[in-house]
Amino acid sequence: MDTKLLLSKSQRVVIKIGSALITRDGHGLDEEAVQSWTRQIAELTAKNKQCVLVSSGAVAEGMVRLGWKKRPHALHELQAAASVGQMGLVGCYEDRFKKHGLHTAQVLLSHDDLADRRRYLNARSTLTTLLDLKVIPIVNENDTVATEEIRFGDNDSLAAMVANLIEADLLILLTDRDGVFDSDPKINADAQLIEYAHVDDDRLLSAAGPSSGTLGRGGMITKVQAARTAARSGTHTVIMSGQVENGLLRLLAGEQLGTLLTASEGALSARKQWLAGRLIPKGVIVLDEGAVKVLKDKGRSLLPVGVTAVQGEFRRGDLVKCVDHNWQEIARGLINYSSVETIKIKGCSSKKIEQELGYIDEPELIHRDNLVVTA
């Protein structure tokens, strides 16, 4: 594999910055480091790279502001610290990006947002729209309302899920380590950096250890697990030090830095496998012969005009089966309209959706990126 080409050709990138890194191991926001990262992201944006920033540090910054020396265990105290710290964290980013003429957007997510199909689609649409507008989304877990059952557990996992959400080419996990080593370098002076590996390489989990710090909830092992999650949508991952001078620019110019963990499949292929096998259809839509041909032979999106009948109750973002007039399954995908709305617009051209509903969300009933042909 040509790793230089893989890195340099990555267009859509998720960058995650850890708590210890951004808060100088709990001593307050490292504004000089933030200035460096924002400058590099601004340069990448000018080169038409699309960057999403997943930043830890809200709880750690809140602890500094509140004068707490140890990370609390009580959930309500963590939520309070996150509320206080989020103000400084986002404000710092906004100020630095503004100096480069870039707008920022705060995006707070919980696990429920990505488990629910409708909210999943809404979150995806919001993030992709922001990227198209050259706005830098700053994503964090919604710590202030999350409960123990729905918390991501660490922002490495959140970053991986965001990579899945927007079908990123590359996930970059910035940490205070140089990457993944074959043994603990604090114990073994001869430990070697693993520069390149497939994401499912058995060496990785045995080599990675838990976090040794008190600020973050993750560690190297969560980064490897996050890389495996990201790989489900074909996203490659780099785990590297955030203290390398111009590290982001050098990496995306093709320089080998840290540990590169490669995924097996392209994003679309992996995503469509997920659509085909991991969700339960909530309804059925019957297609005419023209729509069947377009889906099977041309790989296009499904438009309302090709639908003849609707069965079942479903909401925007639910998985539905597409069948022909003999009820043979042709495809399945995430639908952009509810069953009630689909009934109203079936057989209509996309130009008439607004006329029938009084509004329009999408011109397609199912976009080709959210559809897999199964026939």
Q: Are residues 184 and 244 in the same domain?
A: yes
- pTM across the whole model: 0.74
Q: Are residues 301 and 251 in the same domain?
A: no
Which of 256, 272, 288 is at the close of a domain?
272
Which of 272, 307, 329 is at the close of a domain?
272
For 263, the token pair is 């995924």
Per-residue confidence of the chain (375 residues) as pLDDT tens digits?
A: 688 999 999 999 999 998 888 888 767 788 899 999 999 999 999 999 999 999 988 888 888 899 998 888 888 888 888 889 889 999 999 999 999 999 999 998 877 777 666 788 788 889 999 999 999 999 988 755 655 443 555 689 889 989 988 989 999 999 988 999 988 787 888 889 999 999 988 888 776 655 555 444 447 888 998 998 888 888 999 999 999 999 999 999 999 999 999 997 655 565 666 666 556 789 999 999 999 999 998 889 999 999 999 999 999 989 999 999 999 999 999 999 999 999 999 999 999 999 999 999 889 999 988 898 887
Q: Are residues 288 and 157 in the same domain?
A: no
Which of 243, 272, 301 is at the close of a domain?
272
Vertex 257 angle, CA 253 and 260, to 5°: 100
- Which CATH number is 286's domain given? 2.30.130.10
The pLDDT value given to residue 150: 36
Q: How far, CA to CA in Å, does 108 sit from each of 85, 171, 200, 346, 361? A: 14, 19, 30, 35, 23
- Which CATH number is 131's domain given? 3.40.1160.10
Q: How far, CA to CA in Å, does 274 sit from each of 232, 268, 296, 299, 374? A: 8, 10, 19, 18, 12
Q: Are residues 261 and 346 in the same domain?
A: no
> 269 Cβ partners below 8 Å, 6+ apart?
234
Q: Are residues 238 and 299 in the same domain?
A: no
Q: Are residues 93 and 174 in the same domain?
A: yes
Q: Are residues 303 and 220 in the same domain?
A: no
120-156 pLDDT tens trace: 878 888 999 999 999 999 998 875 565 544 355 568 9
Q: Are residues 115 and 204 in the same domain?
A: yes
Q: Are residues 39 and 80 in the same domain?
A: yes
Q: Are residues 64 and 187 in the same domain?
A: yes
Vertex 217 angle, CA 215 and 219, to 5°: 100
Q: Are residues 205 and 353 in the same domain?
A: no
For 274, the token pair is 């997920």
- Which stretch of DSSP H or E encloses residue 12? strand 12-17
**Burial track 266-291 (b if 16+ CB lie within 10 A, e otherwise):** ebeebbbeebbeeeeebbbbbbbeeb
Q: Are residues 168 and 22 in the same domain?
A: yes
**Strand segments (E) across 178-273:** 196-198, 236-241, 259-262
Structural domains in the chain (count): 2
Rounded to whole angstroms, the Cα distance separating 79 from 66 reads: 13
Domain housing 300: 279-373
